[in-house]
Amino acid sequence: MTGCAITLSYPRRNLIDLSDFSAEEVNALLALAADIKKNPAAYQDACRGRVMATLFYEPSTRTQLSFQTAMLRLGGSVIGFDNPGNSSVSKGECLTDTTTIVSGYSDVLVIRHPKEGAARAASLKSKCSVVNAGDGGHLHPTQTLTDLLTLSQEKGRLTGLTIGLCGDLKNGRTVHSLIRAMSAYPGNRFILISTPYLALPDYSKAVLEASGCAYEEVSSLEEAIPQLDVLYMTRIQKERFESEEAYRQEKDVYILTKEKLEKGKQDLLVLHPLPRVDEISYEVDDDPRAMYFDQAVYGMYVRMALVYTLLLGTPAPLTDTFIKAPAHTCSNPNCITRSEPNLPHYYVMETGSEQCAYCSHAPLR
Ligand code: CP
């Protein structure tokens, strides 16, 4: 890609990708979340007078409500929408105009959007901190913070774990973010359990390769289960398929039943970002290894820790270095640059190759 390097400094800390926080900062967030869980009264007025805006262009239960609850439990207030059809988005307002305006009303902007790279786009002009609450099938860093807190509290460690990721590894943004985070801890190994159609995208495999993290791709959940310390089930993401027919061919391939779980270790942890459709049988819910409902509660505490840190902490200033190119040539049809062509043409060099700075896909050649 021809272009010149450009370094941007942001007025406030953002969380677009978990790599925006150092390993030490992530550990500090987890420790703070654990303290908030133990002593919630000590934090109940911490964010009084501060405002969070939650802009959800896509449906959500856990992420939206746990962020809102996090802010309310810290004494702050919440504005926002969960249906862009009720906002001026319905009149054709572009993403960056909406987020620029709302960032002038708030102290932290939490955004979920179906287009990949939307949170990065919002952060370029935002006057306040931006948190990526899920951008298409790309990343979901606060779900990863949730997963890390759950593992550290319930497993007692983030290292030396064999982690099975099962289901829609292609579209599962929680999987992509978790791989980025857990591949940085020593001794972790991934078993990627999916059909060929739902296999992990190349940009996530490149993260594994670059980190030297051991991984293998398999198709049988039953055969993988006995080796696992953690089984991370995922929903087949119907909304991201090109057709109903393509979805029908993939759905119901992986269903965790009580019978399959019997082959798992006694201290296996079963996680799921939720919502579930039918990939975990309801009978599994009563097994003490089923941790997905507790996981969702941990999500609220870690989001309290994140909001507290963004608004009251003194993290080092954040800068990003991009390659500014003459034109966008992102290969991803769902990249935000396809629907918002006014965005600057930024690329990054990551894991030895060029990637779109918004959605991490390779440029078209
Ligand atoms: N895990 C998760 O992101 O759930 P929601 O889609 O309900 O927010």
**Residue 145 in contact with residue 306, Cβ under 8 Å?**
yes
- Neighbouring C-beta atoms of residue 105, cutoff 10 Å: 13
pLDDT in tens, 218-253: 999 999 999 999 999 999 999 889 899 989 999 989
CA 181 to chain centre: 10
**Residue 302 in contact with residue 279, Cβ under 8 Å?**
no
Quick one: pLDDT at residue 314?
A: 73
Distance 65 CA to ligand 1 centre (A): 9
**Residue located nearest, by CA, to atom 4 of ligand 1:** 62
Both tokens of residue 305? 């820790």
Distance 8 CA to ligand 1 centre (A): 31
pLDDT in tens, 167-203: 999 998 899 999 999 999 999 999 999 999 999 999 8
Residues with CB under 6 A from ligand 1: 60-64, 134, 143, 273-275
Q: Which atom of ligand 1 is nearest to the CA of 59?
A: 6
**Residue 139 in contact with residue 204, Cβ under 8 Å?**
no
Pocket test for ligand 1, best of 143, 271, 279 (most atoms within 8 A of CB): 143
The domains of the chain are located at 11-140+298-312, 141-296, 319-364
Distance 275 CA to ligand 1 centre (A): 6
Mean residue pLDDT of the chain comes to: 95
Distance 58 CA to ligand 1 centre (A): 10
Looking at the predicted structure, is the pLDDT value of residue 2 above 80? Answer: no
pLDDT in tens, 316-364: 677 889 999 888 889 999 999 999 989 999 999 887 789 999 999 999 8
Distance 140 CA to ligand 1 centre (A): 9
Q: How is domain 11-140+298-312 classified at the architecture level of CATH?
A: 3-Layer(aba) Sandwich (3.40)
Residue range 100-108: mean pLDDT, rounded: 98
Distance 29 CA to ligand 1 centre (A): 20
Quick one: pLDDT at residue 158?
A: 97
Q: How is domain 141-296 classified at the architecture level of CATH?
A: 3-Layer(aba) Sandwich (3.40)
Predicted structure pTM score: 0.94
Task: Please choose, from the candidates 179, 83, 187, the residue with its C-alpha nearest in 3D space to the C-alpha of residue 138.
Answer: 179
What percent of the chain has pLDDT above 70?
Answer: 99
H/E segment holding residue 301? helix 292-312
Task: Please choose, from the candidates 11, 294, 299, 12, the residue with its C-alpha nearest in 3D space to the C-alpha of residue 141.
Answer: 299
Pocket test for ligand 1, best of 58, 61, 176, 240 (most atoms within 8 A of CB): 61
Task: Please choose, from the candidates 362, 137, 343, 129, the residue with its C-alpha nearest in 3D space to the C-alpha of residue 239.
Answer: 137
Pocket test for ligand 1, best of 60, 69, 298 (most atoms within 8 A of CB): 60
User: How far, in Å, CA of 342 to CA of 89, rounded?
Assistant: 16
**Residue 141 in contact with residue 17, Cβ under 8 Å?**
yes
Strand duo 319-324 + 4-9: pairing? antiparallel
**Residue located nearest, by CA, to atom 1 of ligand 1:** 273
Class of domain 319-364 (CATH, top level): mainly beta
Q: Do domains 141-296 and 319-364 have the same CATH topology?
A: no
Q: Which atom of ligand 1 is nearest to the CA of 133?
A: 3
Distance 290 CA to ligand 1 centre (A): 18
